[in-house]
Amino acid sequence: MPERAPAPEPRFILGPLTLYAEIGVMEAWLEASAPGDELRYATGPALGRDAPAGLLARQWADEGEVVLFQRRPGAGKPLEYVARRKEPPVKPRSSAGGVFGTARRRQARPAQAVPGDFDASDEGRMLAVLTRAADAGAPCPSNIELARTLDLKSRDRAQYLINRLCRACLIRVASASSFDGRVVTIAATGRKTGARERARA
C-alpha cells in the first residue's frame, strides 16, 4: 500500500482589523457634546465582543445617552460605528452601574472662572492654537502635532489639556477619535475647526 502524502500545513491570513476610539477621548466627547453631535467610535468590518470602545458605546445607549448606528461612507470603504448624542435622560445615572462605573451630570457644567495667568498656562496656549485653527477653518491638529507645537512632553498631555478645556466649557469636541480626527468648537466664538479629509484608498 503506497504511503500517503503528508497533509499540507494550514495557512493563516490576517484579515482586516477594526480601529477603535480611545476611551478617554470618548468620555471627553460625551461631556462636551450637544444633542445631534456624532462620534465615530470604531471603523472596520466588525466590533470585537470585548472591545472597550464598543462596551462603552453600548452602555451609553442602554442609559439613553446616545443612539448607535452603522454607516458605510462609500463602496469599498470600511464600516463606521457611530454614536449620536440624544437629549440627556431625565433620570440621573447611578455611579454604581454600567461597565465603566461612571456618573455624569445631566446638565452642562458651568464655565469655570479663568485665572489671570490663563493665557500663559498650557491650557491657555492650547486654547490659542485651537482658536487659530477654528478661525482659519483648518482641521484640528492631532495630539502629536499639538504636543510638538506646544512643546509638551507627550500626546497624552495634549489630550489631557483638551479634556480640561472641555470640562471648563471653553471648547466642545465632536467626532472625536484617535484615528479620524476631531472637530472642535470654540465656545467664545462658535467657530469650528474643519473636518479632516479622509485618505483615499
Among 26, 20, 19, 23, CA closest to 175: 26
User: Is the model's pLDDT at 197 over the cut of 80?
Assistant: no
Q: How far is CA 45 from CA 16, 36, 201, in A?
A: 7, 25, 16
- Tens digit of pLDDT for each residue in 134-159? 999 999 998 889 999 999 988 888 88
Enter the pTM of the model: 0.47
- Beta-carbon contacts of 198 under 8 Å, excluding residues fewer than 6 positions away, are 73, 180
Asked whether 102 and 90 are in contact (CB, 8 A), the reply is: no
Domains of the chain by residue range? 19-88+108-186
Separation CA 191–CA 200 (nearest Å) = 27
Question: Which of 4-8, 127-131, 158-162 is the least confident region?
Answer: 4-8
Q: Largest alpha-carbon pair distance within the chain?
A: 93
Sorted by sequence, the CB contacts under 8 Å of residue 73 that are 6+ apart come out as: 80, 198
Q: Give the highest mean pLDDT range of 85-94, 103-112, 135-144, 159-168.
A: 135-144
Dist. CA 150–CA 28, nearest whole Å: 21
* pLDDT of 148: 93
H-type helices in 141-193, by residue range?
143-150, 155-167
Higher pLDDT, 197 or 75: 75
C-alpha grid cell for residue 33?
457634546
pLDDT interval class at 191 (50, 70, 90): very high
* pLDDT over 70, % of the chain: 71
pLDDT bucket at 86, cuts 50 / 70 / 90? confident
**Nearest-angstrom CA–CA distance, 119 and 166:** 16
> Residue 80's beta-bridge partner residues?
43, 71
13 compared with 39, residue with greater pLDDT: 39
CA distance 177 to 3: 58
So what's the pLDDT on residue 103? 40
The DSSP code for 153 is S
